[in-house]
């Protein structure tokens, strides 16, 4: 008479293989989520950059000493907050704005930066 079913060894092999596949899935998902957050950061920095260049600078002929949704109103207010919920200017924010050559709140240049998870920092320099 022949027994039917699986041996303990076969079950262990299947369980180990399934566990490895599950671990690989979660590692890949984590990487994809990080890439998506990086793309969100780049989108926000680009929106801030074009708002500064095409709106603020064209109107005032200088760059502000600080930027926020109060003085740069042409972009979606949600873009001032990084993917982890910190606003531009917060110590833990992955976004930073560094003005340069400023006199009485009027700056001639700036650097916008986003710290990314899977790449080097994304940086935009003033155009004018």
- 124 vs 1, higher pLDDT: 124
In-domain check, residue 41: yes
Instruction: Work out how many domains the chain is built from and give that number.
Output: 1
Q: What is the pLDDT of residues 3-13, one digit of tens each?
A: 777 889 989 99
Report the percent of the chain where pLDDT is more than 70.
98
Whether 94 is in a domain gets the answer yes
Which domain does 57 fall in, by range?
Answer: 33-125
Rounded CA-CA distance 37/117 in Å is 8
Residue 18 lies in a domain: no
Residue 3 lies in a domain: no
Q: pLDDT-based confidence at 45, cuts 50/70/90?
A: very high
* Residue 25 resides in a domain: no
Instruction: Please give the angle made by the CA atoms of 37, 94 and 127, to the nearest 5 degrees.
Output: 100
State the chain's mean pLDDT as an integer: 93
């Amino acid at each position: 008479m022949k027994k039917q079913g699986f041996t303990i060894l076969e079950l262990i092999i299947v369980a180990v293989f399934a566990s490895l596949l599950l671990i690989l899935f979660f590692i890949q998902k984590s990487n994809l989520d990080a890439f998506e957050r990086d793309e969100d950061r780049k989108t926000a920095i680009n929106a801030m950059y074009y708002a500064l260049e095409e709106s603020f600078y064209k109107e005032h002929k200088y760059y502000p000493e600080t930027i926020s949704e109060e003085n740069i109103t042409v972009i979606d207010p949600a873009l001032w907050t990084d993917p982890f919920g910190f606003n531009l200017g917060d110590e833990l924010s992955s976004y930073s704005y560094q003005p340069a050559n400023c006199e009485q709140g009027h700056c001639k240049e700036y650097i916008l930066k986003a710290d990314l998870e899977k790449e080097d920092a994304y940086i935009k320099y003033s155009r004018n």
